[in-house]
Structure 1
Amino acid sequence: MSNTTHDIVAKLWNLCNVLKDDGVTYHQYVIELTYLLFLKMAKETRTENQLPEGYRWDALEGKAVSDRLEFYKLLLMHLASHGSTLVKEIFANASSSIKKPTTLSTLVSGIDKLDWYSARQEGLGDVYEGLLEKNAGEKKAGAGQYFTPRSLIDSMVHVMRPTVEDIIQDPAAGTGGFLIAANRYLRENSDLDSWTKKQQRKYRRNTFYGMEHVQDTHRLALMNLMLHGLEFDPQGAGIRYGDTLSPEGEALPKATLILTNPPFGSKKGGGLPTRKDFAFPTSNKQFCFLQHIYLGLEPGGRAAAVFPDNVLFEGNVGKQIRADLMDKCNLHTILRLPTGIFYAQGVKTNVLFFTRGKKEKDNTKEVWVYDLRANMSQFGKRTQLTRTHFAAFEAAFGDDPLSSPASLAQRTDTGEQGRFRQFTRDWIAERGDNLDIAWLKDESNSVTHELPEPATLAQEAMSELEAALEELRGILDELGEEVDV
């Protein structure tokens, strides 16, 4: 993120303090700003023709302070059923939590004063993505559950190498980060001028697909895609609002590339998915999404997906799904991720890389495991995960996104002291198809480090205490309790 973008994002995030003072919860911050930013950005990008006249930024800004909030709430309801399809999707069931007319006026004024010329030069998509990232960094917002670190997304996209021929899908799209990164990679690594008209048409209408189950998150995703120049078609490409684990997910077109970080946990209410194509029904969402992914790939299609450790070792139906995955696909690589990179510090995760076979049986002959977890830094606010942390993995993975037998033969097993090792399918079968494979002794907690200066330790302790207090205030706020701390 450039300094200019960082500055604009910081100013936008500061407006959230205005919302906080009006009793708006962390969960609603970016949603409230999105409604207003859509109106303002439509004006700045000269795309206001998708909004009905009389319900645009200037109409809102032109209202007297005392009348503006009432008009704004009518505007939100009106846009849910008027304007372009994209407008109606973003404002579907929209409502505002703002209570005071002065709050709305402060937001309108603050947004209007931003350096929109610089924002356009930097890219409005980067500004909006920066705002989403800022929101995800706030534990209280709970946004981290649908925000995958940009460095991890970029690394996964890099080794999967999207092309204009691909049909790319994210069945748990969140705010659209994977599809946007895939589009960025595709455009940066293609000669756009050489595309045929057929390729250009296919790129616009039949390349990027996704589904998101939470309506407010779906709004953010549509806004994000729009600002990055990706088209929305309710019958075709774009991120649809729906449940991937229902027949809606079955209706997604077969993909040649799936990139995703599905939600953790069990299906709400403990019920089974309503899809008919799952051979192994389970309330465990991760295993449901895993089935969706490998069933949703075209023969020869490839996938990179984030899953927690339990997907690697859980028994019963979990074991059956892993066996089915290794039959139908070549599960060639597992990347063990460091801890602390998601909103829940204790969650241990992995990226599974696999290619759908041309046949239905015996596609996995060997699995390569890269351990990026043992003896790694504890990532969090103080130690940021960056793309450089993935450089050695990307080099070891190689240049072939399909990881064919010939390319796997070029890999080097680094032995028990190294991070990259090969395990045969037979060896994995002998251990009950348990893929939770670790061999390095993790000494990161037992290594003796030189202690920092006392003043540094005191500062760190104060920062952590302040963060804890702020978190407690947020909880009390959510519960509607008076805050005396």
Structure 2
Amino acid sequence: MSTPETRRLVAKLWNYCDVLRDDGVSTIDYVEQLTFLLFLKMGHERANRKSFPDLALKPVGDAWQSLLDADGQELEDTYNHVLREFGQRKDTLGVIFRKAQNRIQDPAKLKKLIADLIGKEQWSSQGVDVKGDAYEELLAKGAEDVKSGAGQYFTPRELIAAMVDCVRPGPDDTVCDPACGTGGFLLGAYDYIQRHHSGDLTPEQRDRLAGGGISGVELVDGTARLAAMNMLLHGIGKPTGRSLIEVRDALAEPSHLYPSVVLANPPFGRKSSITVVGEDGRAGREDIEYTRQDFWVTTKNKQLNFVQHIASMLGIPGRAAVVLPDNVLFEGGAGETIRRRLLKQFDVHTLLRLPTGIFYAGGVKANVLFFDKKPARPDVPWTSTLWVYDFRTGQHFTLKQNRLTRAHLDDFVTCYRPGEPHHTREETERFKPFTYDELIARDKVNLDITWLKDPSLEDADSLLPPDVIAREIVEDLTAALAEFTAIAEALEQTKDRPGDPDQPPEED
């Protein structure tokens, strides 16, 4: 939650971004450099405090002092040396500085950032919520830099809060995000547990919560460092301990964790940069080969692979809430196979159709799919009823003039009835149930279900602004292109397969 102190810190640091932008430093690069320097400064404070100094952070404290003592070319050389040295470590510190580079080529501006903007604040004395929230706001501002593409790693915190409120993680849960971006879902789960259980947490629960009960995986080095720093600033993990953010491709191998809660917004995009070999024995060849025999079907579609990965890694009992683009709901071939398996083997109980204009990385219409994993029962499908909440029809948001707020999602969370049996739910205009038999009978088990009419299409007096209309046209064309691409790939995959190419995949 933003406070006056949070806003002061953000304003102080952000004002300097405009100066550096003139030198070609992008918004996300600036946030990344702040990450390095904030960590060094806080390490210096903690290593040199009068009461109980953290001796493990002495090398960090010495590194910060060396930056304070240097000027000009010596400062630039010293900074580059520090980045290389810490980037070789195997702990959280190593994740933060992994492949780090100095993007501020003017030593005078680097000195101002070190000595004035960061150096004059006592960051360790700030409350965790203040400095953590300040960093969250900086990440949000970084996501607004469309040219850098950083928005693809940032899920709106209002949506995260609603998803977490529905899933209700507890102190005994293990929470994981296999595509964690800057760590928003992990922090949302941590905050929920702190707000609802802080008074009755045992010492063991506190230690587990801060030291491994919440973890994530991120492929991109720069984003992983932002997540690791974000976690530390919120009191999760230790600088010189094992990193709770793993830097690797989550799809490359089965998870070694089986969390009870998975919250995720996998990256949007058509293809994986790797080869997947599913239990059907076929491979989609790209750059790197590996085998995932725990997958139901082979596909190059990244989102479909993440659905399979999350289904495989989820513990029993387990709860998942995943942001997915529309094509996952309607795509034929592998998509149909995965939906059939998911409905049969998991309790797929809720689908939230999201409105346009809420993501920094636009162009794809998205949904949130909620499903639970329970002990196997081969003869009876676990899904009995899928409740669909249409929050898209008639809803139009933008990132500036009409932003999504948590209050906009109150009705959905109320309809969801967190913690209550699903059979106690009640149908509303926007919230409708569909039985397993109804879903299976739909063409290709299409879950892209809608029944509301957009009032703006019927009422000439409620026409949308031109910019909203233009954006929705782009999103519709993007969705259509995704569907045509899926059809082309499905035809390519069936080209060499014996038998009728129009025959649906066989089920076990």
Which residue type is aligned with residue 5 of structure 1? T
CA RMSD of aligned residues (A): 2.8
CA distance in 2, matches of 1:234, 1:320: 44
Instruction: Give 1:34 deviation, angstroms.
Output: 1.2
Instruction: Give 1:214 deviation, angstroms.
Output: 0.4
1:185-215 deviation digits (Å, cap 9, x = unpaired): 10110144x4334434433444112100001
Other-structure match for 1:216: 222
CA distance in 2, matches of 1:377, 1:3: 30
Other-structure match for 2:495: none
Other-structure match for 2:39: 38
Q: Structure 1 residues 109 and 18, CA, compared in 2 at 3 Å: closer, same or farther? A: farther
Corresponding residue to 1:425 among 436, 447, 455: 436
Match status 1:325 vs 2:342: yes
Instruction: Give 1:301 deviation, angstroms.
Output: 0.7
Other-structure match for 1:187: 194
Q: Structure 1 residues 53 and 134, CA, compared in 2 at 3 Å: closer, same or farther? A: closer
1:52-131 → structure 2 map (5 Å cutoff): 52=59, 55-81=62-88, 85-112=91-118, 115-116=121-122, 120-121=126-127, 123-131=130-138
Instruction: Give 1:163 deviation, angstroms.
Output: 0.6
Match status 1:280 vs 2:292: no
**TM-score normalised according to structure 2 size:** 0.81
Other-structure match for 1:254: 258
Deviates more, 1:59-68 or 1:47-56: 47-56
Contact 2:456 2:463 in 1 (8 A): no
Instruction: Give 1:146 deviation, angstroms.
Output: 0.6
Other-structure match for 1:266: 270
Instruction: Give 1:237 deviation, angstroms.
Output: 7.0
Other-structure match for 1:313: 330
Contact 1:287 1:311 in 2 (8 A): yes
Contact 2:397 2:404 in 1 (8 A): no
Other-structure match for 1:165: 172
Deviates more, 1:24-33 or 1:156-165: 24-33
Other-structure match for 2:251: 245
1:334-373 → structure 2 map (5 Å cutoff): 334-361=351-378, 362-373=381-392
Other-structure match for 2:16: 15
CA distance in 1, matches of 2:216, 2:240: 11
CA distance in 1, matches of 2:344, 2:80: 54
Which residue type is aligned with residue 344 of structure 2? D
Instruction: Give 1:331 deviation, angstroms.
Output: 0.4
Q: Structure 1 residues 55 and 171, CA, compared in 2 at 3 Å: closer, same or farther? A: same
1:416-439 deviation digits (Å, cap 9, x = unpaired): xx1000011111111131100000
Contact 1:267 1:283 in 2 (8 A): yes
Q: Structure 1 residues 69 and 3, CA, compared in 2 at 3 Å: closer, same or farther? A: same
Match status 1:132 vs 2:139: yes
Other-structure match for 2:483: none
Corresponding residue to 2:450 among 438, 444, 447: 438
Match status 1:381 vs 2:400: yes
SS at the partner of 1:9?
helix
Q: Structure 1 residues 351 and 368, CA, compared in 2 at 3 Å: closer, same or farther? A: same
Q: Structure 1 residues 323 and 188, CA, compared in 2 at 3 Å: closer, same or farther? A: same
Can you give the 5+ residue segments of structure 1 that lack an aligned partner in the other structure? 465-485
CA distance in 2, matches of 1:253, 1:170: 11
Contact 2:427 2:433 in 1 (8 A): yes
Q: Structure 1 residues 398 and 446, CA, compared in 2 at 3 Å: closer, same or farther? A: same
**TM-score normalised according to structure 1 size:** 0.85
Over the matched positions of the two proteins, sequence identity in percent amounts to 40
Q: Structure 1 residues 86 and 344, CA, compared in 2 at 3 Å: closer, same or farther? A: closer
CA distance in 2, matches of 1:279, 1:6: 48
Contact 2:353 2:389 in 1 (8 A): yes
Q: Structure 1 residues 183 and 375, CA, compared in 2 at 3 Å: closer, same or farther? A: same
Corresponding residue to 2:162 among 142, 155, 164: 155
Q: Structure 1 residues 444 and 39, CA, compared in 2 at 3 Å: closer, same or farther? A: farther
Contact 2:386 2:433 in 1 (8 A): yes
Q: Structure 1 residues 57 and 447, CA, compared in 2 at 3 Å: closer, same or farther? A: farther
CA distance in 1, matches of 2:62, 2:110: 16
Q: Structure 1 residues 53 and 221, CA, compared in 2 at 3 Å: closer, same or farther? A: closer
1:220-264 deviation digits (Å, cap 9, x = unpaired): 1110011111115999771111111012xx233101110110011
SS at the partner of 1:189?
helix
Aligned pair count reads 445
Deviates more, 1:139-148 or 1:217-226: 139-148
Which residue type is aligned with residue 352 of structure 2? L
1:79-98 deviation digits (Å, cap 9, x = unpaired): 2236x822222112211122
CA distance in 1, matches of 2:44, 2:240: 24
Can you give the 5+ residue segments of structure 2 that lack an aligned partner in the other structure? 48-53, 278-289, 472-508
CA distance in 2, matches of 1:318, 1:232: 41
Which residue type is aligned with residue 366 of structure 1? T
Contact 1:144 1:343 in 2 (8 A): yes
CA distance in 2, matches of 1:161, 1:391: 15
CA distance in 2, matches of 1:73, 1:264: 34
1:405-424 → structure 2 map (5 Å cutoff): 407-414=421-428, 418-424=429-435
